[in-house]
Amino acid sequence: MVIVMSPDATADDVDAVVAAVESAGGEASVGRLSVAGGSGRTFIGVTGDLALIDALRIDEMRGVGRVRRVSTSYKLVSREHRTERSTVEVGGVTIGPGTFTLIAGPCAVESAAQTTEAAQIARSAGATMLRGGAFKPRTSPYAFQGLGEAGLKILADVRDRTGLPVVTEVLSVRDVELVASYADMLQIGTRSMQNFPLLQAVGAAGRPVLLKRGMMNTIEEWLMAAEYIARAGTLDIVLCERGIRTFEPATRNTLDIAAVPLAQHLSHLPVIVDPSHSGGRRDLVAPLSRAAVAAGADGVIIDVHPRPEQARCDGGQALTGPELLPLARQLDDLTTVLGRTTA
Ligand code: E4P
Ligand code: PEP
């Protein structure tokens, strides 16, 4: 059960609800949520014998806004908790139903010049957000690990010059505050999806979060990860399907296209697709992006590089300007046919 307090609820109102729940043998955990475009709300997650707790008539207590029974293991991100699909605002860009957001940029920030060129490619194709990794999760400890804070500074500078809000990955709890001080949105990568302390730290960081699906995780585990972030303080979460590991070696991962409508059915959060990391092949980025639009995704996040053959990370899946431009036009046409507008 989730109890959402009204905006004018006092601390005493919250304490009274908690005491009532506990008097019926239930457990109550209090949190505060911020939602894009609105003021924060206190919520109380309740577990226990719900028949006993129902008898308390909590919905009639002072300061209580709404009481919802939620049958799924994730609560705040569930469609049962909020029936309408949500939108998430990132630096003036709205991600969610009715729109289609194109996010593009380099896989890794390598230099100011490369990031600027990639951002120009992104912007001229109509992308409204810039991606780029400063902290890179690499399989090999000898591979390029990213520029760290120097990379964040480059991203912030390019954002200031192009107006494109920035999403970038944070790999460790230690760096959350630092990354949040430069980025508009914090990315949790596939390898970190079940790093629970990290999920809690980004949830409390005051920035929207892009939560990639773990490459070996179920949809339910993905939504439970989102629940960790929500419980820590924000519902400004965008889910990203980026492919899962299967027995098929022809692609880097298998894009689970069904996960898009399924996640949207189970959760009110926006869902986007990463066609670059899922296929891992430049020639698959366009078809997978078109599939994402057709499946109802709320956007795509695409790797671009001015010179992919020189990329320090994932060059084989990066598009150049001449490749991104026609794809962006196609996605525009497709979204129009499907009655949506590009953000
Ligand atoms: C990309 O952004 C990741 O860091 C990258 O895909 C990891 O790949 P790797 O296995 O080449 O390190
Ligand atoms: C990325 O987008 O930079 C990235 C590392 O992706 P993923 O976590 O999906 O592999």
Q: Which atom of ligand 1 is nearest to the CA of 169?
A: 2
Verify whether ligand 2 is closer than 6 Å to residue 48 (CB atom).
no
Tell me the CA–centroid distance for residue 341 and ligand 1, in Å.
32
Atom 2 of ligand 1, nearest CA residue: 107
Ligand nearest to the CA of 105: 2
Verify whether ligand 1 is closer than 6 Å to residue 314 (CB atom).
yes
| Mean pLDDT on 181-197 | 98
Phi, psi of 147 (to 5 degrees): -90, -5
Ligand nearest to the CA of 300: 2
Dist. CA 238–CA 97, nearest whole Å:
12
Verify whether ligand 2 is closer than 6 Å to residue 169 (CB atom).
yes
Q: Is the pLDDT of residue 121 over 90?
A: yes
Dist. CA 260–CA 201, nearest whole Å:
26
Q: Is the pLDDT of residue 317 over 80?
A: yes
Tell me the CA–centroid distance for residue 303 and ligand 2, in Å.
10
Dist. CA 325–CA 123, nearest whole Å:
10
Q: Is the pLDDT of residue 37 over 60?
A: no
Verify whether ligand 1 is closer than 6 Å to residue 142 (CB atom).
no
Look up tokens 């009274």; give the residue: 16
Q: Is the pLDDT of residue 81 over 90?
A: no
Q: Is 314 left (phi over 0), alpha (psi -120 to 50) or beta?
A: left
Q: pTM score, two decimals?
A: 0.92
| Mean pLDDT on 17-22 | 95
Q: What is the DSSP letter of 96?
A: S
Beta bridge partners of 254: 244
Tell me the CA–centroid distance for residue 276 and ligand 1, in Å.
11
Q: Is the pLDDT of residue 314 over 90?
A: yes
Ligand nearest to the CA of 189: 2
Q: Is the pLDDT of residue 35 over 70?
A: no
Q: Are strands 27-33 and 41-47 parallel, antiparallel or unpaired?
A: antiparallel
Residue 51 CB partners (closer than 8 Å, separation 6+): none
Dist. CA 289–CA 251, nearest whole Å:
15
Q: Is the pLDDT of residue 254 over 80?
A: yes
Of the pLDDT bands very low, low, confident and very high (cuts 50, 70, 90), residue 69 is confident
SS (H, E, C) 233-269: CECCEEEEECCECCCCCCCCCECCCCHHHHHHHHECC
The one-letter amino acid at 67? V
Contacts of 310-315 with C-beta under 8 Å, sequence gap 24+, read 311/106, 311/107, 311/108, 311/110, 312/108, 312/110, 312/144, 313/107, 313/108, 313/133, 313/136, 313/138, 313/143, 313/144, 314/107, 314/108, 314/276, 314/277, 314/280
| Mean pLDDT on 181-209 | 98
Tell me the CA–centroid distance for residue 136 and ligand 2, in Å.
8
Q: Is the pLDDT of residue 176 over 90?
A: yes
∠102-270-304 over CA atoms, to 5°? 25
pLDDT tens per residue, range 260-275: 999 999 999 999 999 9
ipTM above 0.90, yes or no: yes
